[in-house]
Amino acid sequence: MRPHRAAALRAATAAQVLTNFGEVFTSGHDAARSHMETFEAQNVDLFISHSWGAEGYQKYLALCYHLNVNIAIKVAFLTFAIFGLVLVLLAGGPDALSGSPALLPLTVDLPVVVFFIFFFYGHVLACGRCSPSLWLDKICIPQADEVVKEECVRRLPEYLKASSQMLVLWDRTYFERMWCNLKKHTDRQAVVMLPLWLAPWLLLIILIDWMSIRIFSLWWVVDSSGIPSVDGSYQSYFMRNIVYHFYNSLAYMPAGLVAALVFRRNLQLHRAMLSQLADFEVRSAKLSMERDRPMLEAQITALYDEIEDAPIHVAFGAEADSHVAEALLPVNDLRSPSVRVITSYPSPEKCLDLFNADVSGTLLREVQMRSGDRNLPLKAFWPWVVNVAHVFLWGEILKTTLPERFLEGV
């Protein structure tokens, strides 16, 4: 294998990061071996920012969600449409499908199975369409080489600028971590905030939604005698639908209750995470390795000290010092304590305070704007949508509930 430049931007494939159910997010993973499998890149599609204090399985599910959930839902609906059309053609028309034993397995059960297959493996099955190049600190930075590691941390802003999108895997420990706040601050273009509770909640609701459909269909097949028969009047049609939707509501009650209770708990967790961000203090932020603190504080100071941007100002009344002449030399010399004290640049402590204010102010407002998903109800309850579609499109309910004279009019 050709040797690579130490601090060059490196990337991994989605398959590499998600292999063995996200083993890379566990503490026992061989980071050195995975680092050698990464490749040098000019640009990266997705920069992953996360906290190592979060559970590995949550980050694995969250990354599967970000990469695969949309294509998984699309393929599930496509499966429904294809097999629905096949059933209609084989039966000779939609009217002949009422009561067909193959209807529910092929138009509801199979799309659910397809959804889960593509949710976990869509980045592999979609022929590269869902497999972007990824940057993950554990495998794209050599963890055992402290010199190269420090250089990579200094180059984080460059890595972020070379990334098309930044994915923040957000949990209650994320904004407690200094490194996470540094990465989140250094570039704010195309940032996606993904709470780690979202993917497990979504999968749970989809499973319960599917179970509710199955419970209702089982009741419909085994005992539907309690539903009033249709005698051709609109009164009987009305009563039949009242009873039908009553039992339908009972069948869906487990999904609705679980969705409401778990979502309410997650919203409370969401508020707690926002409160942590509002009260952020960089000096108390946690680090996986405490020896990295001076290096990261120096990086924060470099972001705020304005040395690389502003002209030099020497404070009036400063005592003569041989180091003043060095102020006209390279930027690193300006950051030396002996020179900095006689300039108007912000002190390291002031830079940390500015960082605190930016995190608890500007960053907090940005997180609040970026952490929602208006399509979440559709993503969570798409099995119900498919069930309703197969019921109404193929006349299973129309044949058994509408008055005959209404159907004749249609």
DSSP assignment letter at 54: S
Tell me the three state secondary structure of residue 26: coil
Give the Cα separation of 186 and 176 in Å (integer).
Answer: 17
Residue 406: pLDDT above 90? no
The whole-number pLDDT of residue 79 equals 94
Check residues 249 and 225 and name the one with the higher pLDDT.
Answer: 249
**Could you read off the pLDDT of 153-206 as tens digits, one per residue?**
778 878 888 888 888 888 877 776 655 655 555 555 577 888 898 899 889 888
pLDDT tier at 266, thresholds 50, 70, 90: confident
pLDDT tier at 121, thresholds 50, 70, 90: very high
Q: Could you tell me how far CA 284 lies from the centroid of its own chain?
A: 27
Check residues 395 and 53 and name the one with the higher pLDDT.
Answer: 53
The whole-number pLDDT of residue 317 equals 53
Residue 111: pLDDT above 90? yes
Tokens of 310: 């502003």
Check residues 156 and 254 and name the one with the higher pLDDT.
Answer: 156
The full DSSP string for 115-173 is: HHHHHHHHHHHTTTTT--EEE-HHHHS-TT-HHHHHHHHHTHHHHHHTEEEEEEEE-TT
Tell me the three state secondary structure of residue 196: coil
* Percent share of the chain, pLDDT over 70: 68
Q: Which amino acid is at 372?
A: G
